[in-house]
Amino acid sequence: MPITEMLSRNARTFGDDISLIERDPGAGTRREITWKQFDDMANSFANALLARGIKKGDKVALLMMNCLEWLPVYFGVLRTGALAVPLNFRYTADEIKKCLDTAEVSLLVYGPEFIERVDSIRENLSAVNHYIFVGENCPAGAESFTRLIKESSTHEPGIAVSDNDDAALYFTSGTTGTPKAILHPHSSLVSACITENRHHLQTREDNFLCIPPLYHTGAKMHWFGSLIVGSRAVLLRGVKPDWILEAVSEEQVSIVWLLVPWAQDILDAIESGELHLKDYRLKQWRLMHIGAQPVPPSLIQRWKKYFPSQLYDTNYGLSESTGPGCVHLGLDNIHKVGAIGVPGFNWEAVIVDEHGRPVPRGKVGELTVRGPGVMKGYYNNPEASAAVLKNGWLFTGDMARMDKDGFIYLVDRKKDVVISGGENIYPVEIEEFLRSHGDIKDAAVIGLPDRRLGEIAVAVIELKPGRESSEEAILQFCEALPRYKRPRRVIFDKVPRNPTGKIEKPKLRERYCSESVAQVV
């Protein structure tokens, strides 16, 4: 069953039930649609696309903030047989152009936040033939999504789509370089539905709170576990701790996927007295899970202090593996917090050396995964594809180790390993240690040039609001680490993270590298 048929089935079976709720606390608004309205909107948009010449195999880009229209637009694209191309809302105009060119996009759907960026590059987008605007006050040169929906038929367009047909192009996060376009077939999307539901056991009674951006595979593929059973979801615009708890309370949310910084902010707000849990209805909140980055065990220990009855899971994945699920901790394995877990449902995982040979348990190597959600490859980039796809295995670029019980621990990104005086230093280990300090909100460790050692480990520290510390105090705290793992310098600065919570280390290296190079020279 294609994923688009899951939507059709939900409309037939649960047509009058609520499917999606959009909450925008900043604007004080709340909107909702039923499964029937969701399905009708997707069909209307698909028919509007077909009327504008979009055909099977074409590319349609989505450049929107999370909103009620996002998923109906996405499913409308899939129903035409075209490929959906979600774009990062943080992209600059030049980055948007590069992605549109790379993906060979012929139609762009965008929201009001992007008018200026789109207008600045429109003359140089020769391949984009149509622009559709989602929002009020449609700008010149674009067609109104609202008007198109009203004028188009709600009947399914009847385009045959098979599991092997191409479905979507997702761009890599860009934390390690220029984003590449990841090609997934329809079968990848279906596999994500099955894996997610198997891991978190969603039922019709659940309500999923979706906060991360829908352009990324993580948020959407977690929601797929709700789609497959026809349960509702809430799209929350904003990440303030009180907004999150209000949404959970007022919408009776049962499942929340958080990023580490958001969980940290909630705990800080509780401990500072800004939030009082007694003010919210939270008994139905059965599961909190985290993904997109390593999770400090100390964070979950704090979380369980305030939410002792909640289930917890850690999810690991990449856009190249259709998002989260290829490795996950599992609901019954909280005693292994700190690990990313074991191979997910229908997935295999092996840790290998530089020659692709399995390493003994306990030894660090590169994590490789194989399963039904592995990408076809990087679009129009056979060289990059060949570098990470080998005999059906996806080489993740993440360094990891496996313990005696088969649980996998993420050590670091291969490209982020610091080699200092011949020793491999894995920044994630140091970052987790630093975050256990009571004054530290976030930490990033990068390698900077050093005349004698080649590289040294430097800690970028973001303190909690109102806290003070010094380089001397942090270095003294780090004396608990083995000598070779201790940072040689401490810099107090904000730790930049992308919308999916990953530390943007290239930005930090660029910011501080010139200073270090000058010292080396």
Which pLDDT tens digit goes with each residue over 270-295?
999 999 999 999 999 999 998 766 67
Alpha helix segments (H runs only) across 68-216: 70-79, 93-103, 115-121, 145-151, 186-200
For the stretch 313-347, what's the b/e string if a residue is b when 16 or more beta carbons lie within 10 angstroms of its beta carbon?
Answer: bbbbbbbbbbbbbbbbbbeebbebbbbbbbbbbeb
* Local confidence band at 382 (pLDDT 50, 70, 90 cut-offs): very high
Show Cβ contacts of residue 485 under 8 Å, excluding neighbours closer than 6 positions. 425, 429, 430, 457
Instruction: Assess contact for 235 and 220: CB atoms under 8 A.
Output: no
Q: What is the mean pLDDT of residues 58-64?
A: 98
Write out pLDDT tens, residues 91-144.
889 889 999 999 999 999 999 999 999 999 999 998 999 999 999 999 999 999
**What tokens appear for 413 in the block?**
């990104």
Write out pLDDT tens, residues 224-243.
999 999 999 999 999 999 99
Residue 462 pairs in a beta bridge with: 442
- Of how many residues is the chain composed? 521
| Region at 454 (left for phi over 0; alpha for psi -120 to 50; beta for the rest) | left
DSSP state of 337: B
The structural domains of the chain, ordered by start, are: 32-161 (3.40.50.980), 417-520 (3.30.300.30)
Task: Provide the pLDDT for residue 422.
Answer: 56
**E strands within 211-286?**
232-236, 255-258
The whole-model pTM stands at 0.84
DSSP state of 119: H
Write out pLDDT tens, residues 347-370.
999 999 999 999 999 998 999 999
The total of other beta-carbon atoms located within 10 Å of residue 28's CB is 7
Residue of 74, 66, 47, 36 lying closest to 169 (CA atoms): 74
